[in-house]
Amino acid sequence: MAKALKDKPQVIIVGAGFGGLEAAKKLACKDVRLTAIDRTNYHLFQPLLYQVATAALSPADIAAPVRAILSKCENVEVILAEVESVNVEARKVKTNDMEFDYDYLILATGARHSYFGHDEWEKLAPGLKSLEDAVELRRRILLAFEFAEKTPDEADRQAAMNFVVIGGGPTGVEMAGAIAEISRYTLAKDFRHIDPSKARVILIEGTSRLLSAYPADLSERARKQLVELGVEVRTDARVTDITESGVQLDGEFIPCRVKIWAAGNNASFVGKTLIAPVDRVGRVIVNDDLTIPGHPEVQIIGDLANFSHQTGEPLPGVSPVAMQQGRHAARNILRMVHGEKPQPFRYFDKGSMATIG
């Protein structure tokens, strides 16, 4: 006889991003009770945030309601809540206002920006991780052009038309390319007292090349394409201070109103509450089957996980890793429910890309 829903093993997935949502889709309509908890009620397609930030897309274009995605299967419930901690010994997840018991847990709360100990820079140079971040950046970018159009002061006008992007990884490269493109093309004819195509877009990277996780020839190609779009690329350049009026590099001050931070990530704080080993950016160091030591019922996936069993280095923080791990973690749970052991994970790398302009 089929078990009543309440007698089935309780699975909790925290985070309905790329990893968590894939896991949830795999466990929907299966022989488990599934609770998916996220602090937002939508799944966010982060790779296109830069298009919202530069007004090419609207927020609804890149956010899909989690409830609607998972509503077909009765074994799934969706809870909107901020998770504060996990007690692995008691098998409980604590949110801001509730507590949930689990038999199996998948933790997929991703990452946030890191300001390398300069949290005071966050207000001055927002990063790009959430819809709120993207809308705020869009506001700042468009208002900078509006301010430049009105101000009688030449220095203020130039500062308003200087856009500094800090960090030459995929997010910084895409953001710089998109700002250059809207200033050269989209906005080019919309103003009377300024020429938006004269905006300076300056991309600052601390290492010797852009896209340092990509092969060197792709870094060089990205640099050339950005330069063709009019972006000033500064490599080996270190930001030493950020103020309202601009960005200080070693030996140079760039006056600017809009600064964008794309330079570093820290894993979500929830990982640290597990009392499992974490690396220097807070990622939970997982076993080869995505579980944590001593707790096969707990799996960590995506940007929150440090999985170093394949190449000796942690897998990159990209969506295919999170999605493949999400599907694998779900399959592991179904195995364990049937009395089998979780299986080791292997990543299949289909390659990477970044969009310029």
Ligand X SMILES: Cc1cc2nc3c(=O)[nH]c(=O)nc-3n(C[C@H](O)[C@H](O)[C@H](O)COP(=O)(O)OP(=O)(O)OC[C@H]3O[C@@H](n4cnc5c(N)ncnc54)[C@H](O)[C@@H]3O)c2cc1C
Nearer to ligand X, 148 or 265 (CB): 265
Binding flag, residue 319, ligand X (CB under 6 A)? yes
Binding flag, residue 299, ligand X (CB under 6 A)? no
126, 172, 317, 342: residue in contact with ligand X (rule CB under 6 A): 317
Minimum distance between the CB of residue 313 and ligand X, rounded to whole angstroms? Answer: 16
Binding flag, residue 17, ligand X (CB under 6 A)? yes
Binding flag, residue 266, ligand X (CB under 6 A)? no
Nearer to ligand X, 39 or 295 (CB): 39
* CB-based closest residue to ligand X: 17
Three-class SS of the chain? CCCCHHHCCEEEEECCCHHHHHHHHHHCCCCCEEEEEECCCEEECHHHHHHHHCCCCCHHHHEEEHHHHHCCCCCEEEEECCEEEEECCCCEEEECCCEEECCEEEECCCEEECCCCCCCHHHHCCCCCCHHHHHHHHHHHHHHHHHHHHCCCHHHHHHHCEEEEECCCHHHHHHHHHHHHHHHHHCCCCCCCCCHHHCEEEEECCCCCCCCCCCHHHHHHHHHHHHHCCEEEECCCCEEEEECCEEEECCEEEECCEEEECCCEEECHHHHHHCCCECCCCCEECCCCCEECCEEEEEECHHHEECCCCCCCCCCCCHHHHHHHHHHHHHHHHHHHCCCCCCCCCCCCCCCCCCCC
Binding flag, residue 197, ligand X (CB under 6 A)? no
230, 302, 314, 357: residue in contact with ligand X (rule CB under 6 A): 302
Minimum distance between the CB of residue 72 and ligand X, rounded to whole angstroms? Answer: 20
Minimum distance between the CB of residue 216 and ligand X, rounded to whole angstroms? Answer: 20
Q: Which of residues 235-264 bind ligand X (CB under 6 A)?
A: none
Does the annotation mark 174 as catalytic? Answer: yes
- Indicate which residues carry an active-site annotation: 174
**Which residues of the chain form contacts with ligand X (CB under 6 A)?**
14-20, 37-40, 46-47, 49-50, 82-83, 108-110, 128-129, 170-171, 268, 270, 302-304, 317-320, 322
